[in-house]
Structure 1
């Protein structure tokens, strides 16, 4: 049973990692916790359902929904956050703005799709595979493999491309990056686009796994992904991945040992313990400021 829950947690944890990457990317560049990210996650699954309803087919609907969610991330930045940066508003203003945007998106989803839970189509035929006595569904394997591939692509994009180099330059010093000819506003918008895409893909995987969606589905998942990002060291890409896996596995084990009603709290208990021992997270580093 423990091995079963570990496998369950690994597949779900990789999906959490995809969402957590969005938090880490934005925080790494803007030093901003984007609390609208959970609502963006919920928007992704609903966008896919919208296109499926117009008979686009499953794969085209997923592609269009993912791109539309990425565009929503850019829109959030340009409409709400860019004017605050331009006026050099304090960071708390941007933080409160993202919270407000989260509720706006949730309410728009309720207006457009209703507040009740709706079925989400199966992505694949779900068969059972036996590994060391544990029953693993093909959907769990696909969730894990897909998340690994996408996270590897994101890592390569950030570490091995020119735009990734520009993102790291803006992360180090936005003003100096601008002086070196980097279009910092474009890089920030592109970062929000990547975050929206990763959240949308995670929402499709998780909604396809549970076969259900609803407008407020991003609230608890968003908190868990944020916990995963902080646990690994927010702003650190591989930290978000490890944090997502830890949260996912701890949920699975908590459901086995204490009951499913306690699975959410155990993840945050682990987060608190880790932050007491290591405040910067598992892979985070204390900021060093030269004076």
Structure 2
């Protein structure tokens, strides 16, 4: 029983990181119908920023990481995506791939391709004892941060003017603009929120792995995209649930599979993903992904 509880806490912790990653992809897709694979590099640059500032007071290093990643996201919107915003969706997708590989190779040129180890707060690895159950502090922190951030974004989208404008733009971008909503501002805020989510994922992921490598973000972006598809393209609630499902399934398979089959864990995970999509081709939640982008 103790092992089951510890495994579930680990699963929820990993799922929380995946949920935040998927939510960042879902936000941009909802507003722009853009699957931004360059978001993975936003996470990677956040990890390297944290690595370079790890000697500072941790809250200051985390704030600097958020600022750098948000600025990068806004620059990406301004320089890379705005010029092709009215182009074919395939053009925007290729642009995101191109930006992803550009940023990844710049990181390789600066830092090299090998992982670099660093330690954020050693105390986060210590366990919290609840009876006989040992739960790492990092898992508790990850779950609390994810819940707080998801709640904050939900309130932002429902209670603020710009949040309501973003939701309107996600339903019908053209009509929203005709009603006086400034499309550029809505898209800029969506990119900024994506930057915040990417920075938080970077901090949590760096705390879990203790290393920085140019390919880490791409892995998280792919997982986030899969989670978004499972949840339903265009559904933010679906993106969060999709991320949780992928995280929980991944950790549970790691715990339940025989040792000789654990190397094939990812294959089993994507088999579960295929099974879900066979049963629910449009995802678990109905989104606005099938509507035309303008």
Give the TM-score normalised by the residue count of structure 1.
Answer: 0.92
- Other structure's SS at 1:136 match: strand
* Alpha-carbon spacing, 1:62–1:30, altered in 2? closer, same or farther (3 Å): same
Q: 2:35 aligns with which of 17, 33, 36?
A: 33
8 Å CA contact 2:58, 2:120 repeated in 1: no
In structure 1, the partner of 2:273 is 271
Runs of at least 5 residues in structure 1 that lack an aligned partner in the other structure: none
Q: 2:213 aligned with 1:214, yes or no?
A: yes
Aligned-pair distance for 1:192? 0.9
Larger mean Cα displacement after TM superposition, 280-289 or 121-130: 280-289
- Which aligned segments of 4 or more residues in structure 1 are displaced greater than 6 angstroms? none
Aligned-pair distance for 1:187? 0.8
Aligned-pair distance for 1:216? 0.8
Aligned-pair distance for 1:144? 0.7
Give the TM-score normalised by the residue count of structure 2.
Answer: 0.91
8 Å CA contact 1:2, 1:253 repeated in 2: no
Q: How does 1:201-240 map to 2 (within 5 A)?
A: 201-240=200-239
8 Å CA contact 1:66, 1:197 repeated in 2: yes
Aligned-pair distance for 1:37? 1.2
Q: 2:45 aligned with 1:69, yes or no?
A: no
- Other structure's SS at 1:268 match: helix
Q: Residue deviations 1:149-202, cap 9 Å, x none?
A: 011111111111111011012112222222222110111011011111101101
Larger mean Cα displacement after TM superposition, 114-123 or 162-171: 114-123
Q: 2:8 aligns with which of 6, 9, 14?
A: 6
In 2: Cα distance, 1:30 partner to 1:137 partner: 39
* Alpha-carbon spacing, 1:47–1:127, altered in 2? closer, same or farther (3 Å): same
In 2: Cα distance, 1:80 partner to 1:230 partner: 24
* Alpha-carbon spacing, 1:288–1:78, altered in 2? closer, same or farther (3 Å): closer
Q: How does 1:1-291 map to 2 (within 5 A)?
A: 1-52=3-54, 55-85=55-85, 88-123=86-121, 125=123, 126-131=125-130, 134-258=133-257, 259=259, 260-285=262-287, 287=290
Aligned-pair distance for 1:43? 1.1
Larger mean Cα displacement after TM superposition, 129-138 or 39-48: 129-138
In 1: Cα distance, 2:110 partner to 2:189 partner: 27
Q: Residue deviations 1:7-56, cap 9 Å, x none?
A: 1110011011111111100010111111111111111111222233xx54
Aligned-pair distance for 1:127? 2.1
Count, aligned residues: 285
In 2: Cα distance, 1:78 partner to 1:267 partner: 36
Runs of at least 5 residues in structure 2 that lack an aligned partner in the other structure: none
In 1: Cα distance, 2:146 partner to 2:169 partner: 26
Aligned-pair distance for 1:124? 5.6
In 1: Cα distance, 2:241 partner to 2:66 partner: 24
